[in-house]
A = this chain, B = another copy of it.
Amino acid sequence: MAKDKLSERQQGMLAFIREFTGENGYPPTIRQIGEAVGISSTSVVNYNLNKLEKDGYLTRDLKVSRGLRLVGETPRGFVKVPLVGYIFASEPVPVPGEASAFAPDEAIELTRDLLADDQDLYALRVRGDSMIDAMVNEGDIVVMKKQAQARNGEMVAVWLRDKEETTLKRFYLENGRVRLQPANPKMGPIFVDPEKVEVQGKVVLVLRQLN
């Protein structure tokens, strides 16, 4: 609660805890903190840690070695999504084989709060500019969730049998036909016979890195 400014020592402690934890994968002990910031007595470190906790900068688990956690650093929720290939209009999208749970030459790491769900995900790099109507372009990465069915309104990757083409669209089944709505609101939908549509997966995230 005390909204006092932190003492230099306390700032140093926070900085050290952050750095140490990042480097070692576990937090430092009281004695390590003391040594780092130049405190000879463990009780003083303890004293300041309690203060920092009261001020809301960290959480302590009493009686537990290294029982520290910086608040805000918390979530620690990662998802590693294998980058399994490319997506472009003229081919069906690759779907990672069941068996090959692991062979990802590459993977991207995302924080879990970017995703609603973290099961059955895989990522594809967009190749070519044939998907501009889906607002994705060469180099973008689309994160897909493996599923063969789509619910209305979901953005899915579909393979159009007769056109022999992959496309990313919002999916609507209505009046016995499938309406595929481009992401770009300035473009109109296309209508397809449900028999001719193969849902390859649902798009859950699009990433575009600029450099």
A residues lining the B interface (CB < 8 Å): 21-22, 24-27, 29, 61, 65-70, 72-78, 80, 108-111, 113-116, 129, 132, 135-137, 154-155, 183-186, 202-211
Contacts and interface: CB of A to CB of B under 8 A. Distances in A.
Contacts of A65: 29, 65-66
Q: Which of A25, A203, A204 is most buried by chain B, counting CB atoms within 10 A of its CB?
A: A25
A172 to B, nearest CB: 15
Contacts of A136: 135
A80 B72 contact: yes
Given A65-B29, A80-B72, A132 B135 contact: yes
Given A78-B111, A111-B111, A24 B61 contact: yes
A185 B80 CA distance: 31
Contact of A111 (B21, B67, B110, B185): B110
Given A129-B185, A136-B135, A109 B113 contact: yes
Counted per complex, copies of this chain come to 2
A70 B26 CA distance: 11
A111 B113 contact: no
Q: Which of A69, A76, A186 is most buried by chain B, counting CB atoms within 10 A of its CB?
A: A76
A40 B29 CA distance: 27
25 contacts: A22-B76, A25-B73, A25-B76, A26-B69, A29-B65, A66-B66, A74-B78, A75-B109, A78-B111, A108-B111, A108-B113, A109-B114, A110-B110, A110-B114, A114-B207, A115-B209, A129-B185, A132-B186, A135-B135, A135-B208, A137-B183, A137-B185, A206-B208, A207-B207, A207-B208
Contacts of A24: 61, 69
A29 to B, nearest CB: 7
